Amino acid sequence: MRRTALTLVIIGALNWLLVGLFEWDLVTALFGGDAHRESSGFSRIIYTLVGLAGLYCIALLFRDEDRARAR
């Protein structure tokens, strides 16, 4: 369940990264709607930071759980 939840969070964060950098919403493009999303400069910075955090979390998917519990 943890890996599934983490995977969904990473997908969402990467989608926000695309919105922040390119004003393009992948989820909307795949499942219908207007994929171009206009945002303020500040909100694009926030979206980009969330996306970068998602990139960082990809490493957590492959982390050895026994080693993680020992910390």
pLDDT tens for 2-47 read 888 999 999 999 999 999 999 888 888 888 877 787 778 888 898 8
pTM value surpassing 0.75:
no
Q: For the chain, what is the domain count?
A: 1
pLDDT tens for 35-68 read 787 778 888 898 899 999 999 999 988 887 656 5
Angle at the Cα of 40 (from 35 to 45), degrees rounded to 5?
90
DSSP 58-71: HHHHTS-HHHHHH-
Q: Which residue range(s) make up the domain with 25? A: 2-70
